[in-house]
Structure 1
Amino acid sequence: MELFFLVLLVVVLACALGSGYPAAFAIPGSAILAIGIAAFCGYLYAGDIDAFFVHGGGPDAWLSAGVLNFRGNYRSDSGDTLIAIPLFIFMGLMLQRSKVAEDLLLAMAQLFRAIRGGLGISVILVGALLAATTGIVGATVVTMGMISLPTMLRNRYSKPLATGVIAATGTLGQIIPPSIVLLILVHQLTTAVNQANAGRRALYKVATGELTMPSEFDVFSVSAGEMFMGAFVPGMVLVGLYILYVAGVALLRPGLAPTMPRDETNGRNLFLSVIVALVPPLTLILLVLGSIVTGVATVNQAGAIGAAGATIMAGYRLYKGKRGAFAPTLLALCSLMAIAVILQNFDVNLRKIYSSRDVVGLVLSVLAAMALAASLLWSGWRTLKIERTMQYVMEETLKTTSLVFAILLGAVMLTAAFRGFGGEELVKGFLQTLPGGFWGQFTIVMLIVFLLGFFLDFIEITVVVVPIVAPILLADPSANIAAVWLGVMIALVIQTSFLTPPFGFALFYLRGVAPVSVRTLDIYKGVVPFIALQLLALAVVGGYPALVTYLPNRILLQSDNAPPTSTPRLQYCIENYVAGRFRENGDTIRAAIDRARSLDLASLPPKYRAEMTKAFDKAGQAFQLMGAIKASEASVAEAAPDYAPVHASVRQSQRDARQIDKEISKLETIVSRAGRTVSEEAAQKARDRLTELTARREAILAEVPSDWDALHSDFAAIQTAESTARRAYRRDVDEAYQPVTELIALIGDGDKLPAFAADLRSLEDAAQSEPPADLVERIETVRSTLSDIAGTSGIHTALSKARRALRAKSPDREAAQSALADAMAQVESEQVWRKAAGGALLSGLKTYRAAIAGTIGLRSQEHLPKSIAATVAACVASPRHIFLYF
């Protein structure tokens, strides 16, 4: 019965959407209706309203599950990216309504007028910039159709070529960041990654019997900045392919894309018009993306920057030709430059205002911020009064944002209902039975997304399909794909779908604004070459995931917010890099270790002397342990070709058997209810089905080779040897490098001890006469300075003992004096050995640390050195083959 209600859910949704009923109401409505009917039938036929829900729970549980899921995502750290949606919509609409885009197109057309196909190339470039500002297919296609199509036709461009360029360029808003599609995908993929990790851990537990899965096998989540950077290269590849196609057509068939006639605009005026039209929007896009990528601003803050910048640009464009048109813009620029200068020369943190100079900096920053706010208000007032620009933009932003959030809320209700009726398990079972493994599943999913693009907008596809299929694809370890790559591929497929006749949305939008002289067949003929280019881009990005994953990884690893080098996902690639360095510079590193062993450690206390000796020995062992890693890797690589096909076949058989086990469990429940809530006839059918499924399960498991256990045990032993070698190496290099770093810090902080000793000596003198309460306060002050001096835990303990003695009900001055004397003795002892070690030994240790920091000490660095980050990023960007571990 659950399957019946699942089909009912899908049919009701399809009928509602097909009839033109608003998606914001059709999606949650179909969920509410299907859940309500299931609950009613459960009460009517089984006396239990949750009888027809696979996982139990009444209708209220499944209806509220969607809302709670949506609220939980929105309140999470990653969920606040949704706030950026209205800001980016506002930015795009403001630039479109204020005719900044029109100026940009006209200026670019004049710039390329002397080149064959130059007008078409300028339309592609301008369309790409518009896509980066609007992120909405309809807005870009309509804008480009109204502005550029008449111009192209007037300059004798072929109708199919002109319409194809505009329709294809308009769909770039799906993939070129910042895109609304990408933002929604980030939101959906964040949840999908969590579910995928849970599924992958369960699979690892079943396959290996281990309770925990190594975190380096996790599916890693994706942020908005990473998604934007991941989509950037594929977007630029598409732009490049479009330009090459137009240039090729113009070269081979000049009559289809002729040059534009010359006008009377001189070079200087043309240059100024291009600068005024191109630089502001390009600068705005770079500011928005750059602030996200560099970590200067969050996605929400970058959206606010974009909205504010678009308003200022609209302020001077709407006032074009009038006196003082650029006044608010110049005020904004001056304010921004003043803020930059102030931040370079003053500390404007309110918590760090200590001097009159700090007050001056704070006042200047407030004045500059007020000037910037004034320029924004000034521009906003212009947009409010001229052509009702602000009213239009606000209304359209409100409509679009409301639609997005209403669909998001409805979609999580639909997804909850889909899971409640067992749809997720059904889809997972269907995909896992497809031939071709992961790539067979992936192809079918992309085909479904492509077909849905004929009938649904990108929002509906993203929020309905992605939560169902993304966890299944991401959890599969056979391909070990990255979430950012899956998101970009989905965006590319949706983009291709919107361009494909006869149902592509972009074609409908263009048909609505094209003149009567342009036939629908012309539009269809024009987009065919661009569809081929889209498919080529899809194949390239699908075959080379690094096109998507490399840039986000490189930017992340070179940023100030880079993860520490001990992060599990980096270890495999770091070890590959270090192995290469050992091969190239092994003799140099060994020589540095030998020189370190010859250092005179006599000045060190016995504890540190023993630690250093052990650290040098550990450093020498790193070469042998790395050799063990490479030897075990070679053993795995040698055994894998024979083992992998058997492994894949057996795991498939086991998955099929587990699917049957789930159905058997349901049938056994039905049989157990015979004579109560289930009729005898239904129970007998269940028994017959049980017999059939049991026989099928036995047949499937009979296909498992008889020597499978021995094969698996032997290969698992080789893998265990590799994992053991990696753990031993990581432990060894940590113990080789960290003590050296700690000792250098200890010796270096010796310069701080004389000043501390003076304060402590003064405290000792005061301990004989000052009141206990005053002494406690002074001890607190002196003790607080110890946090800046490494290796002073014993001194800290002695001061704490003195403080406790003075804070007792009966203050013990003698005990306090004894504790202070102990602290002073420790300080003097530390001063002696640290000063003695501060010469040749300290210099030698620093030289040694520098020699091994990029290899043996790489795992202990706070961040990867920038010179290494590019190499490691290239390795991390390529999917690691981990299927044989599952």
Structure 2
Amino acid sequence: MDLRDSLDVLMFVAACAVLLTGFPVAFTLAGVALAFGLIGMAFGVFDFGFMAALPQRIYGNMTNEVLIAVPLFVFMGTMLERSRVAEDLLENMGRLFGRLRGGLGFSVSIVGALLAASTGIVGATVVTMGLLALPTMLRRGYDPSLATGSIAAAGTLGQIIPPSIVLVLLGDTLANSYQKAQLEQGIFSPETLSVGDLFAGALIPGLMLVGFYILYQVFRAAFDPKSSPAMPVEDDISTAELYRRTLQALVPPVALIVAVMGSILGGIATPTEAAALGAIGAILLAGERAGGMKRAVRSAAAALIALLLLTSFMDLRTARTEISGIDQFAILAAYILCAIVAIGLGASVWRLWRSGVLGEVSQSTARITSMVFVILIGAALFSLVFRGLGGDETVQEFLTSMPGGTTGAIVTVMAIMFLLGFFLDFIEIIFVVVPIVAPILLMMGVDPVWLGVMMAINLQTSFLTPPFGFALFYLRGVAPDSVTTMQIYRGAVPFVGLQIVALGVIALFPALATWLPRLLFSAM
């Protein structure tokens, strides 16, 4: 191995080592890249001209419409977290299913899936359910390991169930890698990969994973009844009243999820436009729960749904030479509906601003978004220097030399990502590892949607794997002292096994990830 080859490997190892010290990710990636770029120049094996591409990379990220979905989805999730949606869902679902053995575990998995589809923020979901559901499960006699494992696993569903920040970032990175792979193969009219394709591809595997969680809890309830006892029936609430409360808590977030995902999968809106729709819906939902001017807020929500339906069936474009009378009437109705939405949105914003919620949500959104984009800039510099040192060729030679061909290369990449997930955050893996390995795998003929779903589930598994899973850390921070760290670890292990099984099932049956995108978009 000559100096050029050893520098790229040393650069990657150095970046991982510095990240393990807890130094900020963006500065680590940029600092290591600059240091190794200068070392490479000193030895004459790196052309500093690679750095000239950095401003264009940053400008490309700034003008990337797909990445606008990141702050919008973060805002949507944070706003829903503050609007007590999770509390109402857990309370009523717990009462509804709690009469069954294992019922509280079922409700945690179902609510986790709903929160994943509406917030997509793992830390917030795990902490919220840990504070709300864990004390109840322990008080009702649940095995601490089963209770903590169920909550941690349900909290990580935000990684795979769309709309997810992970899928947005992964979809954008894979889209660039797919285009690069096709150009290097001499295909100058490349096919495109969209975040919508990845959302559609992840939907069935995500729901399958929820089913695996519930089946495991059914198994535990059947063969170990003491681990998940049934709750006693509360006489003060009738069955009809319980169903009414559950529907009242369930309908608003489900309607928002259906509106966001339906607009994407139905081809009505791009993921970025759907994220804006989700942000508006979250403001209306939080404003309605804040009290005051509820009629205006509910009218706005109804108008928003009507706008979606109108967009589905009518051509509302105004920049046309000829507009039929029916379309003119539809456009006028759309203007009226937009005005109603604006009034309700203004009422919600006023209430949320007065209560201080809007300021907290905006600050949280700004912090998370800034972190993501600063890491993105550091990762861009890292990838430029890595390629300048010949890292691409080294990785390609390594993967193509693996026994088993394409299958061996995929297994190797998945194993590396799984191990890196013990120490690195998903953002670091997406921005650093995926751009290096994805073009090589895609040039081998791997389906990009299938690869994206496999990577997303792999990243989700890393959140749960002891001893470094981030979801376990989040849960440890809010769990009572009576729950030991080893109980949390033992509880997570079966769910990690279920996720590995899910990876195997999707590997054996790729259509689970590729069928729905092909049906909806005919893109692949």
Please indicate, yes or no, whether the TM-score normalized by the shorter chain is above 0.5.
yes
Describe how 1:42-191 pairs up with structure 2 within 5 A. Answer: 42=43, 51-53=44-46, 57=47, 59=48, 61-72=49-60, 75=63, 79-191=64-176
Counterpart in the other structure of 2:244: 272
CA separation in 2, counterparts of 1:191 and 1:345?
34
How far does residue 12 in structure 1 lie from its aligned partner after superposition?
3.5
User: 184-193 vs 267-276, which deviates more?
Assistant: 267-276
Is residue 552 of structure 1 aligned with residue 513 of structure 2?
no
Distance 1:118 1:342, change over 3 A: closer
CA separation in 1, counterparts of 2:413 and 2:315?
55
Counterpart in the other structure of 2:465: 500
Describe how 1:423-438 pairs up with structure 2 within 5 A. Answer: 423-438=391-406
What amino acid sits opposite 1:171 in the alignment?
T
CA separation in 2, counterparts of 1:186 and 1:63?
25
Counterpart in the other structure of 2:435: 467
CA separation in 2, counterparts of 1:274 and 1:458?
34
Distance 1:486 1:93, change over 3 A: same
Is residue 239 of structure 1 aligned with residue 226 of structure 2?
no
Counterpart in the other structure of 2:383: 415
CA separation in 2, counterparts of 1:354 and 1:422?
57
Distance 1:29 1:544, change over 3 A: same
CA contact (8 A) 1:67 1:412 kept: no
CA contact (8 A) 1:220 1:483 kept: no
Given candidates 463, 474, 478, the residue that maps to 1:509 is 474
CA contact (8 A) 1:348 1:361 kept: no
CA contact (8 A) 1:219 1:482 kept: no
Is residue 33 of structure 1 aligned with residue 38 of structure 2?
no
Distance 1:336 1:503, change over 3 A: closer
CA contact (8 A) 2:181 2:442 kept: yes
Given candidates 348, 354, 360, the residue that maps to 1:379 is 348
Given candidates 12, 24, 32, the residue that maps to 1:10 is 12
CA contact (8 A) 2:37 2:385 kept: yes
Distance 1:133 1:340, change over 3 A: closer
Given candidates 321, 326, 338, the residue that maps to 1:369 is 338
Describe how 1:566-581 pairs up with structure 2 within 5 A. Answer: none
Describe how 1:688-707 pairs up with structure 2 within 5 A. Answer: none
Gapped runs of 5+ residues in structure 1?
43-50, 202-212, 558-562, 564-568, 570-886
Return the structure number with greater relative CO, CA threshold 8 A, min gap 6.
2
Given candidates 281, 291, 296, the residue that maps to 2:263 is 291
How far does residue 17 in structure 1 lie from its aligned partner after superposition?
1.1
What amino acid sits opposite 1:234 in the alignment?
P
CA contact (8 A) 1:288 1:302 kept: yes
How far does residue 357 in structure 1 lie from its aligned partner after superposition?
9.0
What amino acid sits opposite 1:33 in the alignment?
A
How far does residue 280 in structure 1 lie from its aligned partner after superposition?
0.7
How far does residue 360 in structure 1 lie from its aligned partner after superposition?
6.9
Distance 1:350 1:198, change over 3 A: closer
CA separation in 2, counterparts of 1:474 and 1:442?
10
CA contact (8 A) 2:40 2:389 kept: no
What amino acid sits opposite 1:227 in the alignment?
L
Distance 1:97 1:127, change over 3 A: same
Task: Please report the TM-score for the alignment, with normalisation by the length of structure 2.
Answer: 0.93
Deviations 1:679-702 (A, max 9, x none): xxxxxxxxxxxxxxxxxxxxxxxx
Describe how 1:577-596 pairs up with structure 2 within 5 A. Answer: none
Counterpart in the other structure of 2:487: 522
How far does residue 330 in structure 1 lie from its aligned partner after superposition?
2.1
Q: Percent identity?
A: 47
CA contact (8 A) 1:181 1:458 kept: yes
Is residue 391 of structure 1 aligned with residue 356 of structure 2?
no
What amino acid sits opposite 2:318 in the alignment?
N
CA separation in 2, counterparts of 1:423 and 1:276?
55
How far does residue 483 in structure 1 lie from its aligned partner after superposition?
0.3
CA contact (8 A) 2:74 2:365 kept: yes
CA separation in 2, counterparts of 1:420 and 1:341?
51
CA contact (8 A) 1:133 1:178 kept: yes
User: 495-504 vs 459-468, which deviates more?
Assistant: 495-504
CA separation in 1, counterparts of 2:509 and 2:490?
30
Distance 1:347 1:449, change over 3 A: closer
Describe how 1:698-847 pairs up with structure 2 within 5 A. Answer: none
What amino acid sits opposite 2:461 in the alignment?
T
User: 461-470 vs 437-446, which deviates more?
Assistant: 437-446
CA contact (8 A) 1:196 1:219 kept: no
How far does residue 364 in structure 1 lie from its aligned partner after superposition?
4.8
Distance 1:265 1:303, change over 3 A: same
Number of aligned residue pairs: give it.
Answer: 520
CA separation in 1, counterparts of 2:366 and 2:508?
40
User: Which has the greater radius of gyration?
Assistant: 1
CA separation in 2, counterparts of 1:364 and 1:230?
35
CA separation in 1, counterparts of 2:315 and 2:8?
63
Distance 1:341 1:406, change over 3 A: closer
**2:65 counterpart SS class:** helix
Distance 1:281 1:250, change over 3 A: same
Report the RMSD for the aligned CA atoms in angstroms.
Answer: 2.4
Distance 1:257 1:272, change over 3 A: same
Distance 1:337 1:80, change over 3 A: closer
Gapped runs of 5+ residues in structure 2?
none
CA contact (8 A) 1:185 1:487 kept: yes
Counterpart in the other structure of 1:692: none
